């Protein structure tokens, strides 16, 4: 009986350590909270693209990791590329923007 209590206590402690260790989405990537923040940033940036008539939201991809927004895809002009970057910077929580949009008329 004493061994059973020790075993169950050990299992309980191990479980609590696993749960409280940060809950990484992918090992070494980011926590669940950071993932949700990044998802909100991505959604907000895409929403700004859809609301702006100068940016083709369907031609530009948006990814966010730890507050850094990565823009990729194609723009019809340098102005569209710049506008997309400017809109991304205006979203709350954005720490950096990497603009990899290619201009293709």
pLDDT per position as a tens digit, 62-76 = 999 999 999 999 999
3-state class (DSSP) for residue 72: strand
Task: Give pLDDT, residue 96.
Answer: 97
Task: Please name the residues in contact with 105: beta carbons below 8 A apart, sequence gap of 6 or more.
Answer: 76, 77
- Whether 20 shows a pLDDT value over 80: the answer reads no
- 16 versus 28: which is more confidently predicted? 28
Mean pLDDT of 83-88: 98
Thinking of the domain 24-103, which architecture would CATH place it in?
2-Layer Sandwich (3.30)
Instruction: Give the predicted TM-score (pTM) of the model.
Output: 0.69
User: Distance (Å, rounded) from C-alpha 19 to C-alpha 37?
Assistant: 20
As a whole number, mean pLDDT of residues 83-91 equals 98
């Amino acid at each position: 009986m004493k061994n059973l209590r020790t075993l169950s206590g050990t299992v309980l402690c191990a479980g609590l350590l696993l749960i409280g260790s940060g809950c990484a989405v992918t090992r070494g990537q980011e926590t669940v909270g950071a993932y949700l923040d990044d998802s909100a940033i991505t959604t907000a940036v895409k929403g700004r693209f859809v609301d702006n008539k100068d940016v083709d939201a369907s031609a530009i991809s948006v990814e966010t990791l730890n507050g850094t927004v990565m823009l990729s895809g194609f723009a019809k002009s340098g102005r569209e590329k710049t506008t997309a970057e400017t809109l991304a910077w205006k979203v709350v929580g954005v720490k950096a923007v990497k603009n990899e949009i290619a201009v293709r008329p």
